[in-house]
Amino acid sequence: MKIFQFHNSPIVNPARFREMYEHNHTSVFRYIYGLTGGPQAEVEDLTAETFLRAWKARHRFEGDTDSVIGWLIQIAKRLVIDDYRRSLQATNKLVAEPQTESTPEQTAMANEQREHLFNLLTDLPDEQREIITLRYLLGWRVNEIAKYIGMTENNVSVTIHRTLSKLREKWGQNKAESLTMDFAQEEKIS
């Protein structure tokens, strides 16, 4: 006698899972990138592993299509933590942006600024980095972040405001230090 199980999961069907993948792939990639900073190949591997684990667990997913992204982010977060524990080193390389027509100097400055920004982000406590990643890389609203993290909306807003203020302050300090070093280098050359 065969027992049939009916699954309420909206992603059990391979075609529906594929749609879910196409809709959420970029968000999961950006989330992982925001937490790790790259390199791109590792972010792609972790993104692929996230969807592989989701595929294997799709029968256990309970929720509607709107809650799928939260489930995927949880899987991705655990993978990032596991990967970090295995490697015991954080990487500061950034994913290369598509090249636009710019001078080598502009490209070098843009790369330097992106690396500097990522270094500032990696210095943040984990919770602040995750909130900033969810807000600005994934475009989540404050209420979505609050629900996902288990904080009040007000706490999330205050955390975002304080973190951005801290990042602006550090950005300015480091730019001033960089300019001082550049001028010192030019004085030595002259």
* Rounded (5°) CA angle 73-78-82: 145
Residue 95 has pLDDT above 50, yes or no: no
Cα→Cα distances 123→117, 126, 131, 166, Å: 10, 9, 14, 11
Residue 124 has pLDDT above 90, yes or no: no
Q: Which two tokens stand for residue 31?
A: 């989330």
Residue 49 to residue 12: CA distance in whole angstroms: 18
Q: Sketch out the chain's domains with CATH numbers.
A: 7-96 (1.10.1740.10), 99-190 (1.10.10.10)
Contact 137, 36 (CB under 8 A): no
Residue type, 144: E
pLDDT one-digit tens code per residue, 13-58:
899 999 999 999 999 999 999 888 778 899 999 999 999 999 999 9
